[in-house]
Structure 1
Amino acid sequence: MKINLILLASGFSRRFNGNKLLTELNDKPLYMYIVDTVREIISHKHLSSTYINKIICVTQYEEIEENLKDTNINVLINNNSDLGVSNSIKLGISYDMNADGYMFIVCDQPFIKKETLEKILETFEETNKGIVALGMRKQVEIHDICNKDNLADKSYVIGNPVIFSKNYISELLSLKGDIGGKRILKKHIEDVELVYADNEIELMDIDTLDSYKEIKKVLETYEIYGN
């Protein structure tokens, strides 16, 4: 089974007051945390040969393209980022439509671990579900998690990364505007399998300066990597 990993790095960071993906977090650009984690997957021969087909980064930023040019990550420049995340999704899929599944990974979640990505990949292969997503480590009914009213409650959030099987290509390609895959996930809730994060900080992302400060504080307080 071969999965395409699609790194989404095209956002405008409108609520951040600057380019969050290029913002330094402990002397490293934010987007490089995910890139380095994905590189760990690539360097693991068994994981790479068993699961990975292609790795694709969709971005509008030349600096990211330049920094990744000597890696085995295929970089696609999104010249229409103003069309929303749906355009990045379409570009990532259209690069190669022959994979068994497509894992979407946002580049503003610095705490995602290699082991978590590995578990999502394994779960996709081992179950008959067409969608596998990362969620909070809380045993609740999946219908409760995806209930519209509960999505506002962080204790019931489903996050990224998420894998969609090739059976969902047409629906993913039909997305418009700033609408991502969660709409499809909720529509096909019976086909969803959750992988629970070992620590809820893996689901933390940076959208605002306040969330950046919060994540910086977490990095200063806990030794996340190497544990």
Structure 2
Amino acid sequence: MSTCPTVGILLAAGAGRRFGGDKLLAPLHGRALVLHALAALHPAVDQVIAVVRPGAGALADALEQAGAQVVECPRATLGMGHSLACGADHAPPAARLLVSLGDMPAVRPDTIRRVRRALERGAVIVVPTHHGHRGHPVGFASALQRELTRLVGDQGARALLQRHAADVREIAVDDPGILHDVDTPTDLSETTARALTPVPRAPADR
């Protein structure tokens, strides 16, 4: 790993109220939904930190078995900002951070690699766009890690992007998955029809 690693932070601490249950464990092409998001993120970064809410034992186990470092965020119920801060705080010092959402299973690995390459070339904040709309994952240079650890509330990193608006680099990608999250069972049905990144089988399944 380089002296400035690139760490993926997978936010997986939502309660899934609109879905009617733990949507991240909902089956999608034979695997938990969240594992598709992890499968796209994992090969594009040096390590993945997955942030979960307290008591999410089954979710934490699934993510750990798939190779993520799982961090429980005690204040996850207070908003995404707390979860992101928790993940940033557990990343190695001076790390570039790529923030992905656990309920976005259709993002392509190449999109994530492009975000990483833009950071490596000196970008401060990198946001992928599709037809002019901003999506995820969002990349942050190591200089912003401390600010990320101080986030609170339910706005995620939105305030940080506004504060550093002049430093945001948008990259256009041919990837509608950057805009597609799963909030309801209908969203999941629509996602089932998509071609997703294959999820590697666990050793026990081989």
Q: TM bucket by the smaller chain?
A: 0.7 to 0.9
What is the aligned residue count? 193
Tell whether 2:3 aligns with 1:9.
Answer: no
Tell whether 2:24 aligns with 1:24.
Answer: no
1:120 is matched with which residue: 115, 122, 135?
A: 115
1:133 is matched with which residue: 127, 137, 151?
A: 127
User: Are the equivalent residues in 1 in contact too, given 2:106–2:191 (CA < 8 A)?
Assistant: no
- Secondary structure in 2 aligned to 1:210? helix
Shift of 1:200: 1.7
* Structure 1 residues 3 and 99, CA gap change in structure 2 (3 angstroms): farther
1:101 is matched with which residue: 89, 96, 111?
A: 96
Shift of 1:201: 3.4
User: Are the equivalent residues in 2 in contact too, given 1:4–1:99 (CA < 8 A)?
Assistant: no
Tell whether 2:110 aligns with 1:110.
Answer: no
Q: What percent identity do the matched residue pairs reach?
A: 25
Question: Counterpart of 1:169 in structure 2: which amino acid?
Answer: Q
What CA RMSD, in Å, does the superposition of the two structures yield over aligned residues? 2.0
1:201, 1:38 → 2: CA distance? 13
Q: Which residue of 1 aligns with 2:68?
A: 73
For residues 174-202 of structure 1, what are the alpha-carbon distances to aligned partners after superposition, in whole Å with 9 as ceiling and x for unaligned? 32221211221122221011122213234
Moved over 4 A (4+): none
With normalisation by structure 2, the TM-score equals 0.84
Gaps of 5+ in 1: 42-47, 139-155
Question: Counterpart of 1:133 in structure 2: which amino acid?
Answer: V
| Structure of higher CA gyration radius | 1
Shift of 1:33: 0.1
Shift of 1:71: 4.9
Q: Which residue of 1 aligns with 2:190?
A: 214
1:98, 1:57 → 2: CA distance? 17
1:224, 1:30 → 2: CA distance? 11
* Structure 1 residues 225 and 101, CA gap change in structure 2 (3 angstroms): closer
* Structure 1 residues 181 and 131, CA gap change in structure 2 (3 angstroms): same
User: Are the equivalent residues in 1 in contact too, given 2:49–2:91 (CA < 8 A)?
Assistant: no
